[in-house]
Structure 1
Amino acid sequence: MNHNAPVSGGPRTRDVLSTHSVFGAPCWVSLTSRDLEATQDFYSAVLGWRWRGAKLGEHFRIALADGVPVAGIAAVAAMWQMAVAWTPYFAVPDADVAVSRVRERGGTAAVGPLSFPPGRAALLADRDGATFGIWQGELVGNWEAWRRASPTFIRLHTRDAFDAALFYGEILDWASGKPGCCEVEYEGGEVVLRSEGDIVARIDSGAVESAPDPSVRPHWQIHFAVADVTGCARAAEKHGGSVLSENEDEAILRDADGAQFTVTSRRLR
């Protein structure tokens, strides 16, 4: 889970989120790894990140892009028997309500909600097994600065995009008509999530007319915006990672620890 969430003091968590425009949208990404130093070296080389400590302890770091907090790193995969993976977190007004909704709809609550002042977090899985998190409380820095600085968007690869959209929509109040909620559209065979007009997530299961594909292993893929896709791919290979696919505008990479992520050209934003 996102053990790198904000750790400074703040107002009561149930009151904080109302001051933000984020509602049901991705608000943070976190990586669980086995080796903190190796992870820092890899992402410094590939994405140019710098680092600062987190008050939760020596196993945690906050990644910075041009001084903006963009991701959390927790070197706890072996210690806590967790998978090495990137996980997106969605902002919610009430973590307990969100977790209850997940369970009611056939999902799984793996961890939490747990308190990480000034907020609360939980690590969950949808009914097809894709892992995601929720965060209730004050956000890390400025949300607009965060999403402009690093993630382009997140994409859920799943067996049935329409079913997944219904699941997440009911959990996160997408297209609910509530002020500030995310809007859902269908574009080019994908479900597209927009927040304040910007695309912040996509859900993909292949061609709309196709039956659900049982071979797909559902997962959320994090897309980081970069200036040089080719340069990132070569840096990943040089520092112990691998390139799963690559073209001029996008490359799917695997870090030295096995976590998968995507770099996408800033020109596509």
Structure 2
Amino acid sequence: MNRDATVRSDVVSSHSVAGAPCWVSLTARDQGAAEDFYRAVLGWRFRTTALMDRFRIAYADGVPVAGVAAVASTWQMAVAWTPYFAVDNADEAVARGQERGGTTAVGPIGFSPGRAALLADRDGAVFGIWEGQLVAGWETWRRAAPAFLRLHTRNAFDAAMFYGEVLEWATSRPGCCEVHYDGDEVVLRSEGDVVARIHSGAVEAAPDPTIRPHWQVHFSVADVDACMRAALDHGGTVRDGASATEAVLRDPDGAQFTVTSKPQR
């Protein structure tokens, strides 16, 4: 059995991990440029998929870890990294979001392995939901993909209430995500691991999109300095405040993400 077949045998449904982050996807303008950049910075390999045109799956050590879709211009969407959360029922999750003041940008749309929708919370931070078969086994993806996610928002506790109700965090259902408080942050844990943090302080109407409410994807890497050098060599930028353990990078299209060597506990 080849490596990819091993990964496929570990595939599970969103129903078993509902509420937890299960995927991240980049909306880009130029597919080739995006692949060149992330191949150099994160060491990813890319493969085509039958899911849709202009969509590729990124692999790290043979494990599918992220999607890249060159649809920013066609669909008039922002160039950005977006996290997706597993749900039992996409229609019900969308309805819960709308009832609580969120908005729906796209979907739910049916794909061969499931259904997806793109939403925004009450403060405008964009996130996705996914119902159905996961691209990779959830444990496999979580170990190979993002270290964690961080929501920069106006009020962490208000945001935690919104997401908790929409994604059914901290409920009585088996395996649901646990919510804890750590100073001024809300911490989301799944099976004991930190998978997301919610941080107060974003400004809703700020002209700089990095200050407005948004989800930030943090990728775990072995060498932050090497990632920074590769990003600069391939047309990206490094935000001020970078260190040997963590740096915020932008790809040539402007999509922002973090590389970190800090494990989350």
For the criterion TM > 0.5, the same-fold answer is: yes
Aligned twin of 1:181? 176
Match of 1:128 among 120, 123, 126: 123
Give me the CA root mean square deviation: 1.8
What SS is found at the alignment partner of 1:90? strand
Are 1:219 and 2:214 an aligned pair? yes
Distance in 2 of aligned mates of 1:148 and 1:241: 26
Aligned residues between the structures: 250
Give the superposition deviation at 1:248. 1.4
Matched with 1:3 is none
- Maintained 8 Å contact 1:205/1:213: no
CA contact (8 A) 2:42 2:221 kept: yes
Q: 2:24 aligns with which of 26, 29, 34?
A: 29
Deviation string, structure 1 residues 146-172 (Cα, Å, up to 9, x no partner): 111120000000010000000000001
**Partners in 2 of 1:164 and 1:126 — Cα distance?**
8
Spell out the pairing of 1:10-21 with structure 2 (5 A cutoff).
Answer: 16-18=13-15, 20=16
Q: Which of residues 229, 234, 249 is equivalent to 2:229?
A: 234
What is the DSSP-based 3-state SS (H/G/I as helix, E as strand, rest coil) of the residue aligned with 1:55? coil
AA aligned opposite 1:242? T
Distance 2:127 2:263 in 1: 27
1:268 CA drift (Å) = 5.5
Q: In the alignment, does 2:120 pair up with 1:107? A: no
- Supply the distance in 2 between the matched residues of 1:97 and 1:160 (Cα, whole angstroms): 25
List alignment gaps of at least 5 residues for structure 1: 1-14, 207-211
Map of 1:97 onto structure 2? 92
1:93 aligned partner, one-letter code: D
- Cα distance change on mapping 1:250 and 1:177 into 2, 3 Å: same
Match for residue 263 of structure 1 among 253, 259, 263: 259
Question: What amino acid maps onto 1:234 in structure 2?
Answer: R
**In the alignment, is the contact (CA less than 8 A) between 1:175 and 1:184 conserved in 2?**
yes
Aligned to 1:192, what secondary structure does the other structure show? strand
Amino acid at match of 1:243: V
Matching of residue 59 in structure 1 with residue 57 in structure 2: no
- Counterpart secondary structure, 2:186: strand
Shift of 1:16: 4.1
What TM-score, normalized by structure 1, do the two folds share? 0.89
Give the Å deviation of 1:267.
5.1
CA–CA distance in structure 2, aligned partners of residues 249 and 241 of structure 1: 19
Residues 101, 268 of structure 1: CA spacing in aligned structure 2 closer, same or farther, 3 A cutoff? closer
Q: Distance in 2 between matches of 1:127 and 1:204?
A: 15
Distance of 1:104 and 1:239 partners within structure 2? 43
Unpaired runs of at least 5, structure 2? 1-11
**Aligned partners of 1:180, 1:57: CA distance in 2, in Å?**
32
Question: Matched residue of 1:164: which SS?
Answer: helix
Identify if the C-alpha distance between structure 1 residues 69 and 193 changes in structure 2 by more than 3 Å, giving closer, same or farther. same
Contact 2:224 2:261 in 1 (8 A): yes
Indicate yes or no: 2:150 matched with 1:155.
Answer: yes
| Percentage of identical aligned residues | 69
Q: Is the 8 A contact 1:160 1:213 kept in 2?
A: no
Structure-1 separation of matches of 2:37 and 2:13:
34
Counterpart contact for 1:227–1:266, Cα < 8 Å: no
Q: 1:117-163 deviations in whole A, cap 9, x for unaligned? A: 22100000001000000000010111111111120000000010000
